[in-house]
Amino acid sequence: MNARFGPAGQAENYRGKSSVQYPAWLAERGLDAFEYQCGKGVNVGEETARAVGEAAQKSGVVLSLHAPYFINLANPDPESLKKTTGYILSACRAADWMGAARVTVHTGALMKRTRREALDIAIKSLKEVIAACDGEGFGHITLCPETMGKINQLGDLDEVLELCQLDERLLPCIDFGHLYARSLGELEGEEATVRMLDRVEELLGRDRASRFHSHFSKIAFTPNGGEKVHLTFDQQDFGPDPAPLMRELARRRWSPTIICESAGTQDVDALTMKKQYLAHLI
């Protein structure tokens, strides 16, 4: 099985009137994945969600869903955890309607705590979230904690991998643009790519490592904060370059789902990555 590629949300090239026609449009362009965006809240109704899911299935497009951005697993306040759990349950419900197998979840902010303190809180919170998802019948949906782009956020690679060790159903959402930005450009290139993928395999095992979830885009960063803004592949001032990752995934014969988050050109740039990956599979 090969890696799958597609956009986060609707690309600026798309002129359709509805998200229901979007999967067929993506398939016509040679893409086979799509991450439905609920970052500002889960506002999609059951009828629309089921229609998007049916359209995606007909077009051979695999769906995932991005849970609301304001989730913070690292907040110890019981009321905050209650809200976070509700947001994730709503995301899982919409994903279930769509037939989306994966839900991407932000990890949270440090909130003036040490990284270890914040991670311990997030581990406890995620355990409760998993139990709630199981209780609501969403145990078949894979939660994907995401690596984050700002330095003051929880979610470097090791932190996300530690969260994913809580339950074998969890998969990391490795955002290579975020890791590049929070490392101020260090996590880029052949050597860094090999090191990161080796680390995923070391901590999660080859099977889970080979099918991880991923976001990719070029991202501008600031020296003090990390992530500033998402860019397109045509912009050259910042990275990361996708080519080393595509070469290495092909060499390992891994088959993750790669969701492109470029600023408006996510369909074009996703196709660029797919072509690079397939070229190295030969």
Which residues fall within 8 angstroms of residue 179, CB to CB, at 6 or more apart? 147, 149, 156, 157, 187, 196
270: domain CATH number is 3.20.20.150
pTM (predicted TM-score): 0.97
- Phi/psi of residue 60, nearest 5 degrees: 70, 30
- Phi/psi of residue 102, nearest 5 degrees: -130, 140
Alpha-carbon distances, residue 274 vs 146, 250, 269, 271 (angstroms): 22, 10, 9, 5
Return the percentage of the chain with pLDDT > 70, whole number.
Answer: 100
Domains of the chain: total: 1
Residue 282: pLDDT above 80? no
Domain that holds residue 254: 4-281
Beta 4-7 vs 257-260: how paired, if at all?
Answer: parallel
Residue 1: pLDDT above 90? no
Encode pLDDT of 99-118 as tens digits: 999 999 999 999 989 999 99
Please give the structure tokens belonging to residue 48. 């629309």
